[in-house]
């Protein structure tokens, strides 16, 4: 069955690299027009995604913004809606480990930044998008949680795990609030997704090998594995699915 998102308008945060770029490409390949939100040095990647989608005949725009700033987040959502003629799908993918630190050594600044980049960004963007989604016939909000929200994460990732767990609560509470508006709200919880800047930066090669060895499917996940779940959640196939967290981990962890 071919999923068709023709006429749908999507906003993907953190869309300039890794999982976010794969989601933007996948939604665009299915027919959606896509606003690619990026921050910092991912501009070139965002522009590359936009160029690919434009070549497919989609409307696509790259928007740079620090989504930890509520005013910037609101402005970027407005810019995306104006560029695409509205919004139907919001994918809150922006996030970062920032760094590994034990609770004993963690500074207030580190805690606040990790919570802001992973949790507050999703709140600010979703809040700003609600007026546009209520005008859609198939509104969708998708959050990017993590396996870390379930198992506490690896060494030095308590703040990251907590921030991703916060997104689960935000997802389920918002799903209740928006169900009457026919807006479905769900989250994805990827496990070990290989070949990403995240793990190349924060996970040593030998640790990556050990994690993969413990995955029942005996392989790392790919960005496309995550993007395909996002495609399902964004589509009419998931019209009666809301408040759920979809695990994408090759059997590494079960609820």
Closest CA to 36 of 2, 5, 7, 67: 67
CA 159, 129, 70 angle in degrees (round to 5)? 50
Angle between helix 18-29 and 223-234 (nearest 10): 50
**Could you give the angle at which helices 121-133 and 70-84 cross, rounded to 10 degrees?**
40
Catalytic residues: 160
Contact by Cβ (8 Å): 246, 238? no
Which of 247, 80, 90, 255 minimizes the C-alpha distance to 178? Answer: 90
- 228's tokens: 């395909």
CB atoms within 10 A of CB 214: 11
C-alpha distance across the termini of the chain, in Å: 28
Which helix (H) or strand (E) is 82 found in, with range? helix 70-84
Reported as type and span, the H/E element at residue 169 is: helix 158-178
Distance CA 12, CA 230 (A): 11
């Amino acid at each position: 069955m071919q999923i068709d998102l023709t006429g749908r308008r999507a906003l993907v945060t953190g869309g300039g690299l890794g999982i976010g770029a794969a989601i933007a490409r996948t939604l665009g390949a299915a027919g959606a027009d896509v606003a690619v939100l990026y921050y910092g040095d991912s501009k070139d990647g965002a522009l590359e995604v936009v160029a690919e989608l434009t070549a497919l005949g989609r409307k696509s725009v790259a928007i740079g913004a620090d989504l930890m700033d509520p005013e910037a987040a609101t402005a970027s959502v407005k810019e995306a809606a104006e560029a695409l003629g509205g919004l139907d799908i919001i994918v809150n993918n922006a996030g970062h480990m920032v760094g590994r630190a034990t609770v004993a050594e963690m500074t207030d600044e580190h805690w606040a930044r990790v919570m802001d980049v992973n949790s507050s960004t999703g709140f600010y963007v979703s809040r700003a998008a609600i007026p546009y989604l209520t005008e859609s016939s198939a509104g969708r909000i998708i959050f990017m949680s993590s396996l870390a929200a379930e198992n506490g994460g690896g060494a030095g990732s308590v703040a990251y795990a907590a921030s991703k767990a916060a997104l689960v609560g935000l997802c389920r509470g918002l799903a209740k609030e928006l169900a009457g508006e026919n807006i479905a709200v769900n989250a994805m919880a990827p496990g070990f997704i290989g070949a990403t800047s995240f793990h190349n930066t924060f996970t040593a090669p030998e640790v990556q090998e050990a994690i993969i060895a413990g995955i029942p499917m005996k392989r790392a996940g790919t960005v496309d594995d995550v993007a395909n779940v996002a495609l399902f959640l964004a589509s009419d196939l998931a019209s009666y699915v809301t408040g759920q967290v979809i695990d994408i981990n090759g059997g590494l962890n079960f609820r």
